[in-house]
Chains A and B, each alone.
Chain A
Amino acid sequence: MKVEGKQAIWKEYQKDIAGDKYFYVRSCVRQNFFPGSETTFLRIMREELGKDIYEHPCHTTCTGIGYHGDVVPLDTMMTVVARQFALMTEAGYQNLVPSCITSFGIYTEVLDTWHHFPEVEAKVREYLRKATGREFKIPQNLAHASDLIYKFRKEIAQNAKFKLVDKETGKPLKVVDHIGCHYSKMFPEKGVGGAEYPYVLAGMIEDWGGEVIDYPERRHCCGFGFRQYLVQANRGYSVACSHKKFESMEPYKPDMILTNCPGCPMFLDKWQYAIAEMEGKTYGKDGYGIPVLTYEELAGMVLGYDPWDLGLQVHQVSCEPLLDRIGIKYDPLKKYNDKNGVSLGVPEKPSVMKVS
């Protein structure tokens, strides 16, 4: 494989990412499954980088899962999106930063639709007026939260306490990057690096000392599929997708999987557990799973944040083997404590996959 070939493609997809003053919209999946990631993101943006990142208490879901689950009509989704734009406009911001990839895809799709069908935009403005009396301006800049971490990856590297390097061997860790489908598959020019060789996570991995692993099923979906995961009768679709990816990446012996979509890390984490239970198979070293991290967790990790502040304790696949390889200190006794240091008990152990 020739990396120069990829570098040439990366140069073609340089995305304009605003430098400051962001209006932040949260992710439903992130908040429920990886709350520590959003906390960490804001901590990095505000405390490490000194950026103005604003959150409005009245913002809501974009309806993305309902929209892609086909129960929320297009007009409804667009008007809810327009309402988020209105809150941003009213707050005096122009740069929209969604935490969610499905939201990012939806905002991109809406702006593209309005560009091609101005009459649709006019109709949505009318809907919003009628429903809420609000007006809005279209965002000047739309970037996913991972685009921001990508943009400031070198600053993060400068302040990093740890590198993605095996402390014993001195060799870079092997990292699989998994990009959410709706990040750039629909609109390749809107993603850092395009659709085929996205650079948004690869750039972080490289600048933080790791080595990016390319494997045959790299582009395959994690298997959320909206209705395909949520409805039990369809769930085989979801696990089949994740399974395909694990089998494909296994020969490369990755040290971790890095993701930028809220749902993917949950599926890639939980399906490893389920596959172990169903088939007895594990994909990490010595019976463990492959740790799956969000980019916020990884950024916080290299910056030296306490792993239990990042929320690594809510992963089903244990991250301790990864922390140990890098040489990150943590207190195992505090893993399952509450804010005040009181133990919340210890989760049961899976029957097959090893956990720390």
Chain B
Amino acid sequence: MKKKRVIVIGGGISGMEAATHLASMGYDVTLLEKDKELGGHLLGWEKLFPTMRMGKDVVEFLNKGITLSKVNVIRKAEIVNAVKTGEIFTVTLANGNKFESDAVIMATGYDLFDARKKEEYGYGIYDNVITSADLEEKFLSGKPILTSKGNVPKKIALVHCVGSRDEKVGNVYCSKVCCVTAVKQSIELKESIPGVDVYCLYMDLRMFGMHFETLYKEAQEKHAVNFIRGRLSEACENQDSSIIVKVEDTLAGKPLRMTVDMLVLMVGMVPSAGTVKVGKMLGLKFGPNGFLKSMDQHTMGTITNIPGVFIAGTCAAPRPINNVFVDARAAAITASSYLEGYDIEKRISYS
């Protein structure tokens, strides 16, 4: 019997892990990745919370899976069409190549929130306002962290919830990973710049993951990171390019102005452009926040309104890496049971 075929769209963590498991189950799996390299956003991350292990270790783990299970990887794949005809999916690339399959895994991931949309924070205008991703790039480069004028910063503030929980930019949801990323990056800043003062400006600290709270405690106890409960209202530039931040210390009930040498914006997750594009091509439903919608929040995660299309990872909602792994494996299982003729929709008794 001919092997059943699966197309996995997106070669980040969720796509790689789902592809690996489906291929190891014996399916003919094609993984389409728009970039020249697999790994997605993880390639831009040096160390991972909460353990501080290297991001590249995880990429290596994922790549080994792809190699060992013999996934057919197509890089620089720009999708121009994706349709379901009868029971068969056809995905067409810009170079004219077509791929057919019996099931599709959407693993199209997230984009980072464009911090320029928070105009009052001055990203792209003020020289010493950077994003968490920019900071990570600096960590990855191995070079010292310096201000725009090449000085060692003495004071750095990290701003939580940039592009998350904010009706003004249209994103009302929590991006989940930014709080703990801020804690992680605070510790790294403290470790790499002797004597630096680090401030986290937060609304709520959502330390939901196992060991996140421990990391937070470590940031306080061992590294003396300052946590100020207040959302940044605006950032302004001084003549010397340092940044004035205006927040309320809500626990003290007082407006606070503070000058910092560098401001780091913890940018949240938004549905990726690819998620929107391919999702529309396939006729998938989107939730109120613009991410792909599963059939039921509790019982039908990974399962979409189009039979044969499954969703994995952050194209469905913001998630940390460990959840993405679990999610990718779940998508592989639900796809497999679909391909084996199991109809999960028969179990639905609610309306």
Contacts and interface: CB of A to CB of B under 8 A. Distances in A.
Interface in B1-20: none
Given A216-B236, A216-B237, A251-B239, A1 B127 contact: yes
B37 interface: no
Contact of B124 (A8, A196, A217): A8
Contacts of B122: 5
B244 interface: yes
Interface string B104-136: 000000000000100110111111000000000
Given A8-B116, A9-B119, A196-B120, A2 B239 contact: no
Contacts of B124: 2, 4-5, 8
Given A2-B125, A2-B127, A196-B120, A219 B234 contact: yes
Contact of B119 (A197, A214, A216, A251): A197
A252 interface: yes
B244 A216 contact: yes
A194 interface: yes
Contacts of B237: 1, 214, 216
A55 to B, nearest CB: 36
B123, B125, B238: residue with the most chain A Cβ atoms closer than 10 Å: B125
A194 B120 CA distance: 11
B119 A194 contact: yes
Nearest to B239: A251
Chain B interface size band reads 10 to 19
Chain A interface size band reads 10 to 19
A126 to B, nearest CB: 34
A1 B119 contact: no
A46 interface: no
Interface string B229-249: 000001011110100100000
A6 B125 CA distance: 6
Contacts of A216: 236-238, 244
A266 to B, nearest CB: 25
Main secondary structure of the interface of B (DSSP, over half): loop
Contacts of A217: 236
Given A2-B124, A6-B125, A218 B236 contact: yes
Contacts of B123: 5
Contacts of A197: 119, 125
A194 B119 CA distance: 10
Interface string B189-213: 0000000000000000000000000
Contacts of B125: 1-2, 5-6, 197
Contacts of B126: 1-2
Contacts of A2: 124-127
A219 B238 CA distance: 14
A181 to B, nearest CB: 14
A219 B236 CA distance: 10
A3 to B, nearest CB: 8
Nearest to A13: B119
Interface string A194-208: 111100000000000
Given A216-B244, A219-B234, A5 B239 contact: no
Contacts of A194: 119
A212 to B, nearest CB: 13
Interface string A1-33: 110111011000000000000000000000000
Nearest to A252: B239
A251 B242 CA distance: 14
B263 to A, nearest CB: 13
A286 to B, nearest CB: 22
A196 B124 CA distance: 14
A196 B119 contact: yes
Contacts of B119: 9, 194-197
Given A216-B237, A217-B236, A5 B116 contact: yes
Contacts of A9: 116, 119
A198 to B, nearest CB: 11
A145 B244 CA distance: 33
Interface string A207-225: 0000000111111000000
Contacts of A215: 236, 239
Nearest to B119: A196
Contacts of A218: 236
A1 B127 CA distance: 6
Contacts of B127: 1-2
A194 B244 CA distance: 21
Interface in B124-163: 124-127
Nearest to B123: A5
Contacts of A252: 239
A219 B119 CA distance: 13
A195 B118 CA distance: 12
A258 to B, nearest CB: 19
B31 to A, nearest CB: 36
Nearest to B121: A196
A214 B241 CA distance: 12
Nearest to B234: A219
Nearest to A197: B119
Nearest to B125: A5
Contacts of A4: 124
Interface in A171-205: 194-197
A197 B244 CA distance: 16
Given A5-B123, A216-B244, A219-B236, 7 more contacts: A2-B126, A5-B124, A5-B125, A195-B119, A196-B120, A217-B236, A219-B234
14 contacts: A1-B125, A1-B126, A1-B127, A1-B241, A2-B125, A5-B116, A5-B122, A5-B125, A197-B119, A197-B125, A218-B236, A219-B234, A219-B236, A252-B239
6 residue pairs, one from A and one from B, having the closest CB atoms: A5-B125, A5-B124, A216-B236, A196-B119, A216-B244, A196-B120
Interface of A: 1-2, 4-6, 8-9, 194-197, 214-219, 251-252
Interface of B: 116, 119-120, 122-127, 234, 236-239, 241, 244
